Chain A
Amino acid sequence: MHSGKVTRASRVLIWDLLVRCFHWSLVVGFFAAYFTRHNPGPWHEWIGYAVLTLLPIRLLWGFVGSRYARFAQFVRSPTHTLAYSKLLLAGRQPRYLGHNPLGGWMVLALIGSVLATCITGWLYTTDYFWGLEWMEELHDGFTWLSLMLVGLHITGVIHASRHGKENLPAAMVHGRKRAASGNDVD
């Protein structure tokens, strides 16, 4: 592999089908809910319920899914994450085949924030919380937080793509990444 060319054989499947389908369904669902938020009719609510169904599937998959889908594989300790962050700031961070430590925490943050957005939105429609201002503001607040996290997530993906000389968004489509070599963390 000294030619710098990557052949098909040196690519390995990292993101399984469920992880990939979940990722892009969540993207579509989140933004569909966002853009229907003031629409008359039940669209916004039904999209919300669909997203609320997706999230527990991914959470369960984090325990029983394929190797790189598991939380145990990519949720690193604060110490490990801090050490990675320092290397990142120095521009010397290794490439991870799965999620890097910051990316791993981002997965949890995004799932948590979108889940909170779904739950507060649903609660607002219940008899008990209907029309209560603080519940609406909580729902808006989690939406805002999710959007911020999405921005940060995309920034991180672009940065890691350039640093690792690979197309990470494409890897989330076909699931394959360049096999580990050198300092890469598998």
Chain B
Amino acid sequence: MNRKLSSLVFVLAMMASSSGFATGLATCDSGPEENWKPSTELQAMLEAKGWTVRRIKVDAGCYEVYAVDENGKKVEAYFHPLTLEPVPLDSEKAN
């Protein structure tokens, strides 16, 4: 019973600590960060399209953008840090 209990607590602790990991939604083969185009350039590019950029994070080598697009729609989109091109989600690529 004690071993069962400790493995359960271990699993719960692992689940709680995994929040900083890549989401697996999209992946970019983008190499070291010093070669990337700066996120400020991506932000300026998107704002020129009429987007309001709320946040840019890094997820699995991609820039992950939270924004409101030119139509007022909330978007979560991925961009390649070397090209600043949109990156399709892994789930979309599979289809």
Contact = CB atoms under 8 A, between A and B. Distances in A.
Interface in B57-95: 57, 66-68, 74, 76, 89, 91-92
Contact of B74 (A38, A130, A140, A147): A130
B48 interface: no
Contacts of B66: 130-131
A133 to B, nearest CB: 6
B5 A127 contact: no
A151 B25 contact: no
Given A38-B23, A131-B55, A158 B16 contact: no
Given A127-B68, A148-B12, A154 B74 contact: no
A150 B12 contact: yes
A132 B9 contact: no
Contacts of B9: 151, 154-155
Contacts of A147: 12, 15-16
Nearest to B14: A147
Contacts of B55: 131-133
Contact of A140 (B19, B23, B89): B19
A41 B12 CA distance: 25
Interface in A14-46: 34, 38, 40-41
* B contact face: mostly helix, strand, loop, or mixed: mixed
A147 B15 CA distance: 8
Interface residues of B, number: 23
Contact of B12 (A40, A130, A151, A158): A151
Interface in B31-72: 54-55, 57, 66-68
Interface string A151-175: 1001100100010000000000000
Interface of B: 1, 5, 8-9, 12-13, 15-16, 19, 23-25, 54-55, 57, 66-68, 74, 76, 89, 91-92
26 contacts: A34-B15, A38-B24, A40-B89, A40-B91, A127-B68, A127-B74, A130-B54, A130-B66, A130-B68, A130-B74, A131-B55, A131-B66, A131-B67, A131-B74, A132-B55, A140-B19, A143-B19, A144-B16, A144-B19, A147-B12, A147-B15, A151-B8, A151-B9, A151-B13, A154-B8, A155-B5
Interface of A: 34, 38, 40-41, 125, 127, 130-133, 140, 143-144, 147-148, 150-151, 154-155, 158, 162
